């Protein structure tokens, strides 16, 4: 409870809980002590709580305790994510993005001239501060005219920041801007330089709260020049607690909250947006969906989930199927712009080439949401929200299964990778996650990799072409989706090779056919990627049209299926 951010979080939790008489919020304060926090959690369990909300002091230290609690009751983790995925829901800001937003603000201040930055960073233990610095450095690496000197303020307090800045002496002279990792330290820096020779320096903070000494107040008073908001997630935590305890479907795994750059120019409009209550919907919402196509079982399930949810939410949905053609998909978006859709949703076939048409949508004032695939762009205002899986983690999980189940006892393990559509974000990120874990152990190697375009036929062709050029010498097949794995299985059987035995196969998605293949011993591991994004997507569309702010990312919950659980989960596989 030492920082304003914590006080605001606590107030939001209590205010939101007070709206629901069926909720009793029992509150304990770890006072920055992980050992005490672990004892606090044990005490809360002793009270018989139904759901735990925790802001971990030290995410690594608290991971085992939280993982254990998660076996018995739902857990919502706030603002600092624990390792692994043993929790029900994580809600927090994107601290790397906050650092990137600060970096971009400084680049625009520098306008190409030599520019010196004093960065007031939080303590070494602060995950948030490290991420913000990564984001900042990621921007500055492309701007050699900007030089940074870093000063660590261990307790991230206003007074410590004031003392440190005041002690810098001539190190402060050529500094053009001070970037403090929270508004509290920004105020301290201001107090250190006000009235003196350094008073003209720009100051940027983070958090952007209202109220006395809040970032918004400091901008209004001209104390600081800019702040980047860092929402606490307290309200969302209570709202999702109710959904979780009432078994509402579609609760995501992660909700990453959005941050805004606030300056004098947009301060008033930002504050008005805070006070704006969601408005009732007057007309039916018209949504244009630029879909990939019908390439896989996963896509068919995703298509039906979206159509059903549109009906449930009374959304007028128009789907254009680009049939795996990026050019046709961009044309579909142009069609929706000309039809003046309220919202455009895209599952980008590939992650590049999107800026021009998304700028057209922005000029037309049509918000864009991304579903199940991302785009690669430096701009952060071309789409509102991404809803879908964590593909890098899916890739990691696939290779973790290989490491645990295919020991390199005889020789280095030889892996054949069947990639999805080249240039698609799930392809890029599943490969990256898989290779990140693979690199940990020199006894595994990808000896052949080519694309099956996420189709059954494509998977079959990859294996057939390998067999035409090589005697079979593969230990593991990693297929970026189930359909390509099923195609590979057909090709192996035609060649007299036993899938699942002579060669282990791991894939991604979780279709009924793939889970069944596990039971039949032809497939060994399927990493889940949930296709049923319809409800979350249509809720996001509806919230948007009601004037609510959308999160930056909504990441779906995903499991891993193997022989151990395939029989149990098969009945529940609905696609």
Cβ atoms of residues 259 and 229 within 8 Å: yes
Segment contacting ligand GYE (CB under 6 A): 59-67, 233-241, 295-303, 533-541? Answer: 295-303
Question: Which pairs with CB-CB distance under 8 Å and at least 24 residues apart come from 106-114?
Answer: 106/136, 106/139, 106/140, 106/146, 106/177, 106/179, 106/204, 107/139, 107/140, 107/143, 107/146, 109/176, 109/177, 109/202, 110/143, 110/145, 110/146, 110/176, 112/145, 113/145, 114/145, 114/146, 114/147
Segment contacting ligand GYE (CB under 6 A): 16-24, 197-205, 293-301, 547-555? Answer: 293-301
Contacting ligand GYE within 484-513 (CB under 6 A): 508-509
Comparing CB distances to ligand GYE, the nearer of 102 and 322 is 322
Comparing CB distances to ligand GYE, the nearer of 344 and 545 is 344
Comparing CB distances to ligand GYE, the nearer of 25 and 320 is 320
Going by C-alpha positions, the residue among 212, 215, 190, 220 that lies closest to residue 202 is 190
Using CB under 6 A, count the residues that bind ligand GYE.
Answer: 12
Name 270's Cβ contacts closer than 8 Å, sequence gap at least 6: 216, 229, 260, 262
Contacting ligand GYE within 394-433 (CB under 6 A): 426
CB of 501 to ligand GYE, least distance (A): 25
Structure tokens at 531: 């296709």
Q: Is the dihedral of CA 506, 510, 514, 517 positive or negative?
A: positive
What is 101-120 written as a DSSP string?
A: HHHHHHHHHHTTS-EEEEEE
Number of helices (H) and strands (E), helices first, in the chain? Answer: 20, 22
CB of 323 to ligand GYE, least distance (A): 12
Decide: is 298 part of the binding site for ligand GYE (CB under 6 A): yes
Segment contacting ligand GYE (CB under 6 A): 66-74, 80-88, 294-302, 556-564? Answer: 294-302
Question: Residues 372, 390, 393, 429: which binds ligand GYE (CB under 6 A)?
Answer: 372
Segment contacting ligand GYE (CB under 6 A): 153-161, 296-304, 409-417, 541-549? Answer: 296-304
Question: Residues 296, 303, 507, 536: which binds ligand GYE (CB under 6 A)?
Answer: 296
Residue pointed to by tokens 């009945």: 571
Name 41's Cβ contacts closer than 8 Å, sequence gap at least 6: 52, 54, 65, 66, 69
Contacting ligand GYE within 18-37 (CB under 6 A): none
Comparing CB distances to ligand GYE, the nearer of 151 and 526 is 526
- Looking at beta carbons, which residue is closest to ligand GYE? 298
How far apart CA 535 and CA 80 sit, in angstroms, is: 27
CB of 390 to ligand GYE, least distance (A): 11
The secondary structure of residue 510, as a DSSP letter, is -
Question: Residues 481, 507, 536, 556: which binds ligand GYE (CB under 6 A)?
Answer: 481
CB of 319 to ligand GYE, least distance (A): 15
Decide: is 373 part of the binding site for ligand GYE (CB under 6 A): yes
Reduce the DSSP state of residue 202 to 3 states and report it. Answer: strand
Comparing CB distances to ligand GYE, the nearer of 66 and 424 is 424
Contacting ligand GYE within 521-540 (CB under 6 A): 529
What's the order of all strands across the beta sheet hosting 444-451?
A: 444-451, 413-419, 476-479, 504-509, 525-528, 560-562
Segment contacting ligand GYE (CB under 6 A): 107-115, 292-300, 398-406, 548-556? Answer: 292-300
Question: Residues 295, 342, 351, 390: which binds ligand GYE (CB under 6 A)?
Answer: 295
Residue 248's Cβ-count burial label (10 Å; 0-12, 13-18, 19+) is exposed
How far apart CA 429 and CA 425 sit, in angstroms, is: 6
* Residue 426-465 contact track with ligand GYE, rule CB under 6 A, x = bound: x---------------------------x-----------
CB of 446 to ligand GYE, least distance (A): 19
Which residues are near ligand GYE by CB under 6 A? 295-296, 298-299, 372-373, 426, 454, 481, 508-509, 529
């Amino acid at each position: 409870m030492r920082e304003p951010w914590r006080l605001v979080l606590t107030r939001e939790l209590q205010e939101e809980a007070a709206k629901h008489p069926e909720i009793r919020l029992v509150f304990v304060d770890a006072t920055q002590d992980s050992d005490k926090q672990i004892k606090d959690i044990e005490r809360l369990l002793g009270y018989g709580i139904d759901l735990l909300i925790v802001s971990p002091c030290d995410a690594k230290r608290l991971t085992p305790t939280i993982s254990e609690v998660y076996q018995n009751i739902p857990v919502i983790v706030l603002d600092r994510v624990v390792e692994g995925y043993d929790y029900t829901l994580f809600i927090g800001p994107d601290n790397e993005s906050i650092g990137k937003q600060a970096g971009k603000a400084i680049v625009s201040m520098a306008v190409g001239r030599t520019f010196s930055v004093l960065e007031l960073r939080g303590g070494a233990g602060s995950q948030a501060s490290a991420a913000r610095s990564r984001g900042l450095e990621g921007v500055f690496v492309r701007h050699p005219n900007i030089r940074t000197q870093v000063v660590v303020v261990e307790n991230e307090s206003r007074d410590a920041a004031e003392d440190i800045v005041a002690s810098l002496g001539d190190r402060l002279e050529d500094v053009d801007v001070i970037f403090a990792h929270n508004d509290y330290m920004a105020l301290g820096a201001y107090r250190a330089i006000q009235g003196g020779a350094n008073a003209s320096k720009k100051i940027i903070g983070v958090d952007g709260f209202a109220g006395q000494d809040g970032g918004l107040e400091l901008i209004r008073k001209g104390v600081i020049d800019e702040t980047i908001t860092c929402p606490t997630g307290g309200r969302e935590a209570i709202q999702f607690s109710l959904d979780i305890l009432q078994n509402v479907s579609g609760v995501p795994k992660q909700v990453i909250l959005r941050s805004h750059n606030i300056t004098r120019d947009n301060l008033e409009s930002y504050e008005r947006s805070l006070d704006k209550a969601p408005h009732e919907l007057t007309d039916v919402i018209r949504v244009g969906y630029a879909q990939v196509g019908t390439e896989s079982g996963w896509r068919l399930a995703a298509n039906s989930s979206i159509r059903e949810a549109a009906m449930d939410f009374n959304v007028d949905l128009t789907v254009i199927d680009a049939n795996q053609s990026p050019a046709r998909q961009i044309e579909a978006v142009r069609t929706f712009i000309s039809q003046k859709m309220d919202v455009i949703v895209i599952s980008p076939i590939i992650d590049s080439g999107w800026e021009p048409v998304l700028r057209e949508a922005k000029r037309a004032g049509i918000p864009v949401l991304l579903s199940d695939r991302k785009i690669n762009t430096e701009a952060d205002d071309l789409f509102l929200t991404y809803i879908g899986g964590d593909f890098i983690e899916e890739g990691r999980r696939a290779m973790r299964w290989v490491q645990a189940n295919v020991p390199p006892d005889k020789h280095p393990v030889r892996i054949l990778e069947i990639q999805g559509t080249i240039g698609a974000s799930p392809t890029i990120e599943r490969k990256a996650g898989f290779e990140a874990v693979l690199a940990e152990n020199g006894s595994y190697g990808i000896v052949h990799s080519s694309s099956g375009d996420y189709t059954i036929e494509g998977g079959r062709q990859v294996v057939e072409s390998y067999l035409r050029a090589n005697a079979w010498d593969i230990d593991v097949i990693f297929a970026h989706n189930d359909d390509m794995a099923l195609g590979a299985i057909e090709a192996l059987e035609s060649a007299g090779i036993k899938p699942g035995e002579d060669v282990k196969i791991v894939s991604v998605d979780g279709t009924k056919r793939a889970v069944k293949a596990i039971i039949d011993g032809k497939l060994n591991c399927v990493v889940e990627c949930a296709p049923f994004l319809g409800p979350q997507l249509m809720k996001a569309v509806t919230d948007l049209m009601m004037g609510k702010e959308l999160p930056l990312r909504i990441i779906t919950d995903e499991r891993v299926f193997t022989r151990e659980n395939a029989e149990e989960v098969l009945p529940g596989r609905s696609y």
